[in-house]
Copies of this chain bind each other. A is one copy, B any other.
Amino acid sequence: MAGDAVTLVEVGPRDGFQSVGPFIPTARKLELIRALYAAGVRRMEATSFVSNSAVPQMADAAEVLSFANSLPGLDAAALVPTVRQAERALAAGARHLVFVVSVSEAHNQSNVRRSCAESLEEYARIVGLLPVGVKLRLSLSTSFDCPYDGPVAEAATLAMLRRVVGIAPGAEIAPADTTGRATPGQVAGLFREAAVQLPQVQRWAFHAHDTYGMGAANCLAAWNAGVQVFDASVSGLGGCPFAPGATGNVATEDLFWMFAGMGVASGIDLSALVAVADDIAKLPGAQTGGRVRDALNARACLLAT
């Protein structure tokens, strides 16, 4: 498959920043988004429109999205959990919405305070009001494992996939390994079976977490199963302030490293990306992950001596 291209969706400004406790000044967010863009990032989950009281870090969503949309050629998406938030995002100029629903009821209740059925109703209403030209992605949380209910059966995930694809067959579909507990056989198995059962889906994506060190291996398994769009967070920013040792999304630079080594282009400049990752690692409250950044910095340090 060497020579194929992969799309790395930079989710640091959304999934990463939302894990940081202290508010990151909006101007700093815009600088980091500009630097990611300069490093070659052309697809990004830039922010989320959610309850400001529940997630104060995202209170500047409209300003952040507006800036990201000003960067030529950047496909900037905004995550929304409800119709009301989708309307806010569209009013702010959103060109790409990401709707999130979980396979497991417990996680959906905790995440968006609704049953899965209620979320699906919201999703259908959003699809109905979506202006022509606005892109849509469906991110399916807890597609493998739920922090409350434990392992999620493949059959349950496939059942939910049939429902969301029924609502919007044209949306990009992104099963997420929310807890990072999935292993490569499960990941490949789900994507292979989903492609068979839902051939109408034009684009599958995978959202990996590296909490159990499986981020790169699971992305490799998804790639081998035909997936070409991968979420990743620069510096591996993420984790949970209440769970020491929990880590975030797979690091963008680690996925870059893997795919570049396989001859698969992603359009990203590694040294520029690592420079941004180093800046992000210095944010107060940031918990970072991944290996490539440390390894390259250690090597630079060795070569300098």
Q: Which A residues form the contact surface with B (CB < 8 A)?
A: 2, 180-186, 210-217, 219-221, 224, 242-247, 251, 254, 257-258, 260-263, 290-292, 294-295, 297-299, 301-302
- Tell me the bound Cα distance from A185 to B59 in angstroms: 43
Chain B residues with CB below 8 A from A184, complex form: 220, 258, 261-262
B217 touches A183 (CB 8 A): no
B213 touches A180 (CB 8 A): no
Q: Which of B221, B247, B295 makes the CB contact (< 8 A) with A291?
A: B247
Given the known interface contacts A185-B263, A254-B212, the answer about A295 and B180 at a Cβ–Cβ threshold of 8 Å is yes
Q: How far is the CA of A247 from the CA of B213 in the complex (A)?
A: 14
Report A43 CB to chain B, min CB distance, Å. 22
Q: In the bound complex, do residue B258 and residue A2 qualify as a contact, i.e. CB atoms below 8 Å apart?
A: no
Q: Are B242 and A211 closer than 8 Å at their CB atoms? A: no
Contact call B213/A245, Cβ cutoff below 8 A: no
Whether the pair A182, B261 counts as a contact (CB closer than 8 A) is yes
A57 to B295, CA, bound (A): 25
Contacting pair A262 B185 (CB below 8 A): yes
Residues in chain B near residue A181, CB distance under 8 A: 261
Q: Which 6 pairs of residues, A with B, have the shortest CB-CB distance?
A: A183-B261, A213-B291, A245-B294, A245-B298, A185-B262, A216-B217
Q: Out of B214, B246, B301, which one reaches A244, CB within 8 Å? A: B301
Provided the pairs A220-B220, A243-B301, A301-B243 are in contact, do residues A291 and B261 lie with their beta carbons within 8 angstroms? Answer: no
A220-B220, A243-B298, A295-B246 as given contacts; A183 in contact with B258, CB under 8 Å = yes
